[in-house]
Structure 1
Amino acid sequence: MKKELQLQLSPAEAYDSDLFRETVLKRLKLPVADPQIFARQTKRSIDARGRQVKVLVEAEVFVHEPPTPLLEQGRDYPNVSLAPQIIIVGAGPAGLFAALRAIELGVKPILIERGKDVRARRRDLAAINKDHIVNPESNYCFGEGGAGTYSDGKLYTRSKKRGDIRRIMEILVAHGATEEILVDAHPHIGTNKLPKLVEELRNSILQAGGEVLFGTKVVDLILDRNEIKGVITQDGEKILGQGVILATGHSARDIFHLLKSKNILIEAKPFALGVRIEHAQNLIDRIQYHCEVDRGPYLPASAYALVHQTQWQGKQRGVFSFCMCPGGFIVPAATSPGEIVVNGMSPSRRDSKFANSGIVAAVELEDLPQYEKYGPLAAMMFQAEVEQKAWLAGGQTQTAPAQRMLDFVNKKVSADLLDTSYQPGLLSVDMDTVLPDFIAERLRQGFKAFGQKMKGYLTNDAQIIGVESRTSSPVRIPRDRETFEHLIIKGLYPCGEGAGYAGGIVSAAMDGERCAEKLIEQYVRTGSRNQMTD
């Protein structure tokens, strides 16, 4: 017999597995000592609106019958070593899931990644943090797993129309993620666990006969009029396939330059830019959970989501929190020497004493009239210029410019700064010398409004660190809404965050799957193209 129920539980009842089982069985008037009764949670979310935090739980109880399997998706992939091949550029979430979906459909993926495998990549991340050396091919954005590998590993998305979110979650669990991500309303994996998971995704691709090429940078495209036949690498090697999925991420500026130089249609795209703010996690917990001392042993580190509409010089723009990382760290995410970019990440336990979040202002193309000369690269060139100014302000290293929060709001240079999770270090700077006026003024308005929404948030015991500029791609590679194919170049499938069609691990993974399906349906299943031979 199976029973389903909805519960309002205390944090202890929800997060202590033994106490949860005992609580559920007592409510159903079932014997707690019966070992043939199995209880599990299927959905869980925290309700902190009242003075007492509650956890809303949906649960299943199986009485004297085995529980139904939790996963439908596994790791049983066919061998495609001799199958027709497609090319996937970029081994982030979009590229990895495109490759796995291609294998499921009986097609061999050639996955090309400019950066290093996930283990070798760690040495380059250490060099950024300790020695301020940025390797433009291997960093927090480039390398196996993309920017998502060294992130909080957030797995929630609003992009439900793109595909099956549950399917993506089950594939992640099959490759090593905890089953908790199938239950929590706002699941995450954690930067300490993501590298192993990414490695397992790669192993599935290789074991099925796919190819993964690390340290292989695409520098040109093989075009025959308006059709793409393959790509050319930095070593001059030609790699051919029946279609190309371009999943290079939002920071591959060289790819945007390449597309523009070849007169391939791309567009400037609005994005958002600002700073990353760092509070003590205990302060955020006390605000969000209404606790006097700390959140206790059961509740996870609290998060927040904030948004405010600002007015400046007659224009309304949103200011909002972005990629909030409870119990996390701020990291240097530059992809080239001579720039400062910051991002956030969290370990699975979210047990750092710091909370950080991007606080960014929307940037519309009409805000950038002086960059119109760059055409489709206008927003990207603006983005790059702000990052370069941050690098100069920080002393031309990866030391980041920073300012205490209230000092920034009051236009006062901070006499000193707080402890920080940002390893390369901070330098007290007037952030108005780094941020464009229209960004700085909107951030001030946003901080004041956030202080009203979260009492205690607006404080000089927090600091802003610049700049948070890689929120989304500043370029869109246009594609057909139905076929996902580039509007002009046949066989080219712009994909994921870099093309402007995703914003996070799950939405990028779903977009990768859809691109693989559309390409294979059009060019492999129908045989409408013959693979070019050298």
Structure 2
Amino acid sequence: MKKDIQLQLSPEEAYTAELFEKAALRKVGISPSDSNVYVRQTRRSIDARGRNVKINVSAEVFVNEAPKPMLEFHHDYPNVSNADQIIIVGAGPAGLFAALRAIELGVKPIVIERGKDVRARRRDLAAINKEHIVNPESNYCFGEGGAGTYSDGKLYTRSKKRGDIRRIMEILVAHGATEEILVEAHPHIGTNKLPKLVADLRESILQAGGEVLFDSKVVDFILEDNEMKGVELADGERILGKGVILATGHSARDIFHLLNKRKILIEAKPFALGVRIEHSQNLIDRIQYNCTVDRGPFLPAAAYSLVNQTHYQGKQRGVFSFCMCPGGFIVPAATSPGELVVNGMSPSRRDSKYANSGMVVAVELEDLPQYQKHGALAAMVFQAEVEQKAWEFGGKTQVAPAQRMIDFTQKKVSSSLLETSYQPGLNAVDMHEVLPDFISERLRQGLLAFGKKMKGYLTNEAQLIGVESRTSSPVRIPRDKETFEHPVIKGLYPCGEGAGYAGGIVSAAMDGERCAERLIAEYVKR
């Protein structure tokens, strides 16, 4: 017999196996001495709305019955060495999961990645942190696993396709993620564990007969009568396939330029731009958990989510937190020399003394009238110019411009800056001079509002570090809502964040799977 139960527990009860089991058995009226009982959590979320933090837990209790495995996914792929092949450009979550789904459907994927494998990327990340050298082919955005590999590994998505989400999670667990991601309401993996997981995903592709090509930059498309036949690499090699899934991520500006040059239909897209805000994790814990000293040994590092509508020059725009990294670090995410971009990441334990979050302002195309001459690349050109300006204000290195939070709201250059997790260092500036007026003024309004929503959040013991500009792609590559195929170029399947159809690891992975299914149904399984 299986019983499903709901519990509201203290953190100690929820995160201590022995105490949790006692609470669960008490709920169903079973004695702990009964040896033929098995209890497990299936869902766990934190409720910090009251004075005392509670943990809401869904659980299963099995009495005189063997529990079914939590993991239903079977890690068995067919050999596709001699099968028809499709081309996947980009080895981020969208590309890797598209490849695995193609293998399941009996098709050989050729994954083409401009950057290096996940291990070799580390040297280039060290170079940008310590020597301020940006390798335009290998950095925090480009390389095996994409931008998500050296990040928090957040797996939360607002997608309504819950079945797809469970499938993605199980594939991740099968490749090394802990089963905890199947339970937590806001699961994450951690930047220390993601590289090995990504390498294991690649190994599954290779063992099944797929190919993964590193240091292989796509410089042109092979088109015949408006049909995508393959791609050309920087070394002149031409690779042909039954179709092309374009999963290059939100920072591959050269691909957007190539699409524009080849007159392949693309569109400018709204996005968001702002800064990273860094507090001490202890301060965020005290605010969110209503504790006076620290959060204690059982609660995880606290996160927050903030949003506010602001008004400037007669227009309303949202200001919101983005990619909040509790117990994390701020990292340099530029993809070319002469620009400065910051992003956040966290290790699996989220045990840094810092908390950081993107704090960004929605940018609509009507906010950029002077950029309309750039057509479909208007938002991208604007984004690049802000990043270049940040680089100049930082001192033309990867040192980032920064300002204490209250100083920013008062438009006052900070006389000193706080310690930071951002390794290249900070330079005190007026961030109002770095950011366009319509961004900085809305950001100022938003921070003042957030200070009222979260008492203690607005403080000079926190600082703004700029700029956070790679929130999503500033370009959309259009596709049919049903077939996922480009409306003009046959055999081209825009995919993931870079094409404007995903917003994180899980949503990108699901989109990769769907693109593979549609391509194969149309061009391989005829």
Q: 1:163, 1:129 → 2: CA distance? A: 40
DSSP-derived class of the 1:438 partner:
helix
Q: Any idea what the Cα deviations from partners look like across 1:211-263, whole Å, max 9, x if unmatched?
A: 00000000000000200100000000000000000000000000000000000
1:170-209 correspondence runs (5 A): 170-209=170-209
Does the residue aligned with 2:170 lie in a helix, a strand or coil? helix
Check conservation: 1:163, 1:511, Cα contact below 8 A: no
Q: After the TM superposition, which residues 198-237 of structure 1 pair with which residues of structure 2 at under 5 Å, given as runs?
A: 198-237=198-237
Query: Within 5 A, what are the aligned runs for 1:412-491?
Result: 412-491=412-491
Deviation at 1:478, TM superposition (A): 0.3
**Partner of 1:87 in structure 2?**
87
Displacement of 1:28: 2.5
Aligned partners of 1:162 and 1:511 also within 8 Å: no
Q: Does 1:10 align with 2:16?
A: no
Tell me the equivalent position of 1:40: 40
Within 5 Å, give how 1:360-399 maps onto structure 2.
360-399=360-399
Deviation, 1:377, is 0.2
The total of aligned residue pairs comes to: 526
**CA apart distance, 1:36:** 2.9
Paired position in structure 2 for 1:70? 70
CA–CA separation in structure 2 for the residues paired with 1:74 and 1:11: 33
TM-aligned CA deviation for residue 163 of structure 1: 6.4
Counterparts of 1:163 and 1:184, CA distance in 2: 16
Q: Which amino acid in structure 2 is aligned with residue 197 of structure 1?
A: L
Deviation readout 1:184-213 (Å, 9 max, x if unpaired)? 110000100000110110011001000000
Q: Distance in 1 between matches of 2:36 and 2:197?
A: 33
Inter-partner Cα distance in structure 2 for 1:522 and 1:157: 28
Q: Tell me how far 1:26 sits from its aligned partner.
A: 2.8
1:63 is displaced (CA, Å) by 1.8
Cα deviation per residue 1:310-360 (whole Å; 9 max; x = unaligned)? Answer: 000000000000000000000000000000000000000000000000000
What code does the residue aligned with 2:31 have?
P
Alpha-carbon distance between aligned partners in 1 of 2:439 and 2:221, rounded to the nearest angstrom? 37
Matching of residues 259-338 of structure 1 within 5 Å: 259-338=259-338
% identity of equivalent residues: 80
1:68-93 deviation digits (Å, cap 9, x = unpaired): 11111121101100100000000000
Does the residue aligned with 1:164 lie in a helix, a strand or coil? Answer: helix
Q: Which moved more, 1:26-35 or 1:256-265?
A: 26-35
* Aligned AA (1:61): V
> Which residue number in structure 2 is paired with residue 531 of structure 1?
none
CA contact (8 A) 1:390 1:400 kept: yes
Residue in 2 that maps onto 1:530: none
Please name the residue that 1:498 is paired with: 498
What is the DSSP-based 3-state SS (H/G/I as helix, E as strand, rest coil) of the residue aligned with 1:117? Answer: coil
Task: Decide whether the 8 Å contact of 1:74 with 1:170 is kept in 2.
Answer: no
Query: For residues 276-328 of structure 1, what are the alpha-carbon distances to aligned partners after superposition, in whole Å with 9 as ceiling and x for unaligned?
Result: 00000011111100111111100000100000000000000000000000000
Q: Give a deviation string over 1:393-427, Cα, whole Å, max 9, x none.
A: 00010000000000000000000000000000001
Amino acid aligned to 1:457:
Y
Note the C-alpha offset of 1:162: 8.9
The whole-number CA distance in structure 2 between the counterparts of 1:202 and 1:316 is 45
1:257 aligns with 2:257: yes
Structure 1 residue 31, shift from structure 2 partner: 2.8
The Cα offsets for residues 360-419 of structure 1, whole Å up to 9 and x where unpaired, read as 000000100111111000000000000000000000100000000000000000000000
| Code of the aligned partner of 2:463 | Q
Provide structure 1 residue ranges, at least 5 long, that are not aligned to the other structure.
527-534
* Whole-Å separation in 2 of the counterparts to 1:398 and 1:44: 40
Q: Distance in 1 between matches of 2:484 and 2:3?
A: 43
Partners of 1:159 and 1:494 lie apart in 2 by 19
Residue-by-residue CA offset, 1:417-447 (whole Å, 9 max, x unaligned): 0000000000101111110000000000000
Residue 119 of structure 2 corresponds to residue 119 of structure 1: yes
Is the 1:39–1:59 contact (alpha carbons within 8 Å) kept by the matching residues of 2?
Answer: yes
Q: Deviations over 1:476-517 (max 9, x none)?
A: 000000000001000000000000000000000000000000
**8 Å Cα contact 1:326-1:355 kept in structure 2:** yes
Is the contact between residue 476 and residue 498 of structure 1 (CA under 8 Å) also seen in structure 2? yes
| More displaced 10-residue stretch of structure 1: 471-480 or 31-40 | 31-40
Distance in 2 (alpha carbons) for counterparts of 1:161 and 1:438: 36
Q: Which residue of 2 aligns with 1:410?
A: 410
- Give the residue type in structure 2 aligned to 1:184: E
Tell whether the 8 Å contact from 1:475 to 1:498 is kept in structure 2 after alignment: yes
Structure 1 counterpart of 2:358, which letter? G
Supply the AA of the counterpart residue of 1:499.
A
Check the 8 A contact 1:408/1:444 in 2, yes or no. yes
Structure 2 partner of 1:55: 55
1:102 partner amino acid: A
One-letter amino acid of the structure 2 residue matched with residue 288 of structure 1: Q
SS where residue 484 of structure 1 aligns?
A: coil
Give the aligned residue type for 2:6: Q
Does the residue aligned with 1:143 lie in a helix, a strand or coil? coil
Structure 1 Cα separation of the partners of residues 432 and 61 of structure 2:
58
Shift of 1:3: 1.4
CA displacement at 1:65 relative to structure 2 = 2.2
Normalising by the residue count of structure 1, what TM-score does the alignment of the two structures yield?
A: 0.98
Whether 1:241 and 2:241 are equivalent positions in the alignment is yes
Kindly state the Cα deviation for residue 61 of structure 1 after the two structures are TM-superposed.
1.0
Contact 1:404 1:414 in 2 (8 A): yes
Secondary structure at the aligned position of 1:119 is classed as coil
Q: Does the 8 Å CA contact 1:163/1:514 hold for their aligned counterparts?
A: no
> Structure 2 counterpart of 1:183, which letter?
V
Over aligned residues, Cα RMSD in angstroms?
A: 0.9
Q: Distance in 1 between matches of 2:283 and 2:74?
A: 41
The one-letter code matched in structure 2 to 1:435 is: L
Partner Cα distance (1:163, 1:199) in 2? 25
Q: CA deviation at 1:64?
A: 2.6
Q: Secondary structure at the match of 1:386?
A: helix
Distance 1:130 1:251 in 2: 22
The alpha carbon displacement at 1:161 in A equals 4.1
Q: Distance in 2 between matches of 1:261 and 1:15?
A: 55
Q: Secondary structure at the match of 1:513?
A: helix
- Label 1:84 to 1:153 Cα distance change in 2 as closer, same or farther (>3 A): same
TM norm structure 2: 0.99
**Corresponding letter in the other structure for 2:178:** T
How big is the shift at 1:522? 0.3
1:47-80 deviation digits (Å, cap 9, x = unpaired): 1110011100000011232111111112110110
Distance (Å, rounded) in 2 between the aligned partners of 1:176 and 1:22: 30
CA distance in 2, matches of 1:163, 1:406: 45
Q: Which residue of 2 aligns with 1:108?
A: 108
Letter in 2 for 1:74: H
What corresponds to 1:21 in structure 2?
Answer: 21
